[in-house]
Chains A and B, each alone.
Chain A
Amino acid sequence: MTPPETANRAPRDTAAGSGPIRLLLVEDDDGDALLVEELFNISGAYMEIVRATTLAEARREDLTQIDCVLLDLDLPDAHGLAALHQLKTDRADIAVLVLTGLDDERRGMEAVGAGAQDYLVKGQIDGQGLTRAVHYAVERLRADEARRELEVARLHAEENARLERGLLPAPLVNDPNLVLNAHYRPGRRRALLGGDFYDAVQAADGSVHAVIGDVSGHGPDAAALGVSLRIAWRTLVIGGREPEELLPTLQVVHGHERHHSWMFTTLCMATVAPDRRSVRLQLAGHPPPLLITEAGITSLEPAQGEPPLGVVDDFRWTTYEHALPEAWSLLLYTDGLIEGRTGMGNARLGGDGLAAMVRGVLDSGPPGLVAALVERAEELNGGPLLDDVAAFVVRTQ
């Protein structure tokens, strides 16, 4: 009968000085109980004492409202450490001080080993010592709890950073005439890393392959799938597989690596020819990239949208080829960038809004186009975007 986790996580807020410490005294011997109460009285401690004479009675108390338990180890219904174990099972983070007899110090030490904060030997302790022991137990438990929470937060941040590195690598492109800029910003739910990823690889024949993808959902499962897909994609490209074969193979990997059958991934893949004058595109349910040239800004729309990875088995994605002028930029992005609001009613940025925004940012000519775009989108949205945003520009220089 473990109480719900929430009850465990919400101990009373009794920061020093904000109220009396609520003490549960579990002691069947009335004389000993009276002695303890007297000791507190003498020391003038600000203590509220709840008395229980058996373990069963103690367990009927709402332990979340108790700051510290003073526990006698010889109760009518529990002998030795059994009562301690039971109370710790009921509420793992409760402070327990064990009361032992003079000839029983060894059992006190065992109790500390089993999770008690300390043990007190009856007849050897005075009021001040008792009060100090209670305060100390309560405060130390609170400090332990704070330290544990800090550690969890630190591990979480490290884990996110690790996954982020796996999702967002250093591109493997060494053409001095091409510039690659990528930008990633986690969504408003900072703690939940998304599954956005990108990569770029220059193949042996000089063609440059770029990919951007978005795994549905958030959290470690989405991020882990994103990392798997990115590595698989990179491996296939380095291995010299034809671009047309990549998505069907990636879809097979996707099916094996996803933890939930409902996960799917949208993805845009671009292959720039060795002469840099044409690009081949494949879109698996992903927003089409923007082509930015002197002639203007064009969204490279497919004739028909095709499904994300993980939805239609054995699908063969269409390749669309576009000619490129001498100077161009190609902006690949995830939908988080265009789903933000624009400050005008319920309107969202959308692909057209993004094109207009690119125009504005180009006119002002900042060097970091992608970072500027994401910042502008956030400005328009009136705060951080809901979803993760990844944007990736490949351009000639």
Chain B
Amino acid sequence: MHARMDANPIVLDETAGDVVVVVVEGEHDIYTAPTLRERLDEALGRGGGIVVDLTAATFVDSSVLGALLDARRRAIEAGQGYVVCVGDSVEPGVQRILDITGLVPVLPVLQGREEAITAVRSTNGASE
């Protein structure tokens, strides 16, 4: 279990100050979705904007999308900015499920962490 967690970490990067980046790496499914939910809760608890960075994620399943959608809903309710981002090249195991579920415009998913942080800053605090 320990090795698996090391290989597929989910960590908070708070170096951007007002925006917390939840960095999701490796493979994630129903076994790691509860950890992702915890990290997202933590990030929401900071009160600022949230970026979920899937650049280094190699596989996500529908339970991960469920966690991302749930966090998005709560961020919107609390008036916190929320954006998911991917890198220049997206792993097939991530791209495919984003394509099938049509969630790119919904979550939304942007390319590049910096772009995502900028986008979150512009929406953070904006009431619905």
A residues sitting closer than 8 Å to B (CB atoms) are 189, 214, 216-218, 261-264, 266, 283, 285-288, 304-308, 311-312, 335, 339, 346, 348, 350-351, 386-387
Tell me which residues across on chain A come within 8 A of B13, comparing CB atoms: none
Interface size range of chain B in the complex: 20 to 34
B66 touches which one: A262, A304, A305, A339 (CB < 8 A)? A262
- Give the complex CA separation of A386 and B27 in angstroms: 13
Tell me which residues across on chain A come within 8 A of B103, comparing CB atoms: 285, 305, 307, 311
- The residue in chain A whose Cβ has the minimal distance to the Cβ of B59 is A348
Whether A217 contacts B106 by the Cβ 8 Å rule is no
Residue from the set A264, A287, A307, A311 with the largest chain B CB neighbour count within 10 Å? A311
Number of A-B contacts (CB under 8 A): 66
Distance between A266 CB and nearest chain B CB, rounded to angstroms = 7
CB-contacts of B70-128 with A (<8 A): 70, 73, 92-93, 96-103, 106
Tell me which residues across on chain A come within 8 A of B31, comparing CB atoms: 386
Assess whether B35 is interfacial by the CB under 8 Å rule: no
Whether B66 contacts A217 by the Cβ 8 Å rule is yes
Interface majority SS (helix, strand, loop, mixed), chain A? loop
- The residue in chain A whose Cβ has the minimal distance to the Cβ of B37 is A262
A307 touches which one: B30, B61, B101 (CB < 8 A)? B101
Whether A285 contacts B100 by the Cβ 8 Å rule is yes
Tell me which residues across on chain A come within 8 A of B58, comparing CB atoms: 346
Distance between A316 CB and nearest chain B CB, rounded to angstroms = 12
Residue from the set B30, B58, B93, B100 with the largest chain A CB neighbour count within 10 Å? B100
Contact code string B52-69 (vs A, CB < 8 Å = 1, else 0) = 000000110111011001
Assess whether B38 is interfacial by the CB under 8 Å rule: no
- Give the complex CA separation of A298 and B73 in angstroms: 36
- Give the complex CA separation of A15 and B96 in angstroms: 54
